[in-house]
Amino acid sequence: MAITYQEAGVDIDAGTALIERIKPLAAKTQTPLSIGTLGGFGGLIQLPIDRYRQPLLVTTTDGIGTKLLLLQQHQRFETIGHDVVAMCANDLLTLGAEPLCFLDYYACGTLILDQAEAIISGMSTACQTVGTTLSGGETAEMPGLYKTEEFDCAGFMVGIVEADQRIDGRSIAPGDALIALPSSGPHANGFALIRALLEQQPAPDLEALLKPTTLYTPCVTPCIEAQLIKGMAHITGGGLVDNIPRILPKQCTAHLALDSWTLPECFSWLKEGCALDTGTLLRTFNCGVGFILVVDATHVNRVLDQLSTQQAWLIGQVIPSAPNTPRVQWT
């Protein structure tokens, strides 16, 4: 008995149609470094080596975890695309890198064109916001591995930074200040717990849970260019407790002032609904803090002025580490 590829669950024509639909979306993200158009076997990006003496390539890759299921349930497909870019772009930013290109991987049981196009549209808009090119990707229709309505999405981003200007926390020292940038909500972390609580009780503000992840590149880049930043932490899985130490030298500990900000309502709901102590809350969610800058204490006012439209605030300071004590402390 003859069986066609389409009868087996893979629609080649749909894949071709998707490429034609998303070509205009990718074209909107073209930068002066982009070469060629979408649809080839690879994307071409010209390295701006005329602007660098000893360039380093920076790579990041990420997904959005089970937030995808909640966004799918509420038909927020563009937010899925936005968040995949944001998780990569914010990671790349922590090293002070200039983003060059972004690629996506979209895997599904059945390719639904409108849905996939909406996801790529969200990616396109986010790429334009951070100034990078959507240079390619992969759409994989895999019946049997995914159910008909199931899909997953991940991203990969490449950036460039001058070797001696990379921001990796090497110069952080006790006495430095910690400046926080607000999150729009949980961003794309902790959703296994969020979804478990939603099965037991409704959220007081569902929209706060569904909001797109904040893109920090536009507001932080001027501070990078002014050489005001010693280190940066993107507050993702592991919350404030696990992410800030990733940029601290061994002799340094972060001390947070919990009274420096008001816990957003959605995190209060999570704390109470899941009966989380403060330490667990700070290690699970961003708690309203999406990004941390470490700066010299003498630069605090200048950085806060630069970030005045972002509602940034002084959240704490770097203190000397003591033996057998946590790398993040709070009062």
Is residue 65 assigned to a domain?
yes
- Structure-model confidence comparison of residues 11 and 210, the more confident one: 210
Give me the pLDDT at residue 1, please: 66
State whether 69 and 198 are in the same domain: no
Q: Taking a C-beta distance cutoff of 8 angstroms, is the pair 105, 165 a contact? A: no
Q: Taking a C-beta distance cutoff of 8 angstroms, is the pair 22, 143 a contact? A: no
Is residue 3 assigned to a domain?
no
State whether 16 and 97 are in the same domain: yes
Is residue 171 assigned to a domain?
no
The DSSP code for 247 is G
State whether 182 and 290 are in the same domain: yes
Residue 2 pLDDT more than 80?
no
Pairing of strands 98-108, 55-63: unpaired
Is residue 1 assigned to a domain?
no
Q: What is the residue range of 310's domain?
A: 177-330
pLDDT digits (tens, 9 = 90+) for 114-161: 999 999 999 999 999 999 999 999 999 999 999 999 999 999 999 999
Give me the pLDDT at residue 243, please: 98
Is residue 79 assigned to a domain?
yes
State whether 112 and 196 are in the same domain: no
Tokens of 251: 């002799």
Give me the pLDDT at residue 247, please: 97
Structurally, the chain folds into a number of domains equal to 2
pLDDT digits (tens, 9 = 90+) for 223-281: 999 999 999 999 999 999 999 999 999 999 999 999 999 999 999 999 999 999 999 99
Give me the pLDDT at residue 26, please: 87
Q: What dihedral angle (degrees, nearest 10) is formed by the CA atoms of 215, 219, 223, 229?
A: -30
Q: For the chain, where are the E strands, in sequence order? A: 34-35, 44-45, 55-63, 98-108, 133-141, 151-162, 177-182, 231-234, 252-256, 289-295, 313-320, 328-330
pLDDT > 90 fraction of the chain, expressed in percent and rounded: 87
pLDDT digits (tens, 9 = 90+) for 18-73: 888 888 888 899 999 988 777 778 889 999 989 999 999 999 999 999 999 999 99
Q: What is the CA radius of gyration of the chain?
A: 21
